[in-house]
């Protein structure tokens, strides 16, 4: 497989407690995936808080892991 010429789609999902990344190939099949949980804070009953910086880093992290499976030699 020549991954340099193939096209892929990266899909990111920022859920309530987990960030996920999936890479799909040209046929729409899952080529790789990664996920990471992040912390939630409950300061008061009925309230949920999340750290925006942690959310951003979890998105970057799962994207890097999923894409590294597509192009393992790139950094």
Per-residue confidence band for 24, with pLDDT thresholds at 50, 70 and 90:
very high
Per-residue confidence band for 33, with pLDDT thresholds at 50, 70 and 90:
very high
Q: Determine, yes or no, domain membership for 2.
A: no
**Of 2-6, 43-47, 69-73, which has the strongest mean pLDDT?**
43-47
pTM of the model: 0.79
Closest among 15, 18, 20, 16 to 32, alpha carbons compared = 20
Report whether pLDDT(43) > 90. Answer: yes
Domain of 57, in residue numbers: 9-70
Q: Determine, yes or no, domain membership for 1.
A: no
Q: Determine, yes or no, domain membership for 38.
A: yes
Q: Determine, yes or no, domain membership for 4.
A: no
């Amino acid at each position: 497989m020549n991954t340099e010429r193939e096209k892929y789609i990266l899909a990111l999902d920022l859920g309530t407690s987990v960030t996920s990344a999936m890479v799909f190939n040209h046929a729409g099949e899952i080529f790789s995936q990664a996920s990471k949980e992040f912390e939630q804070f409950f300061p008061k009953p009925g309230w949920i808080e999340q750290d925006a910086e942690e959310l951003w880093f979890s998105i970057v992290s799962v994207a890097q892991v999923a894409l590294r499976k597509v192009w393992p030699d790139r950094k």
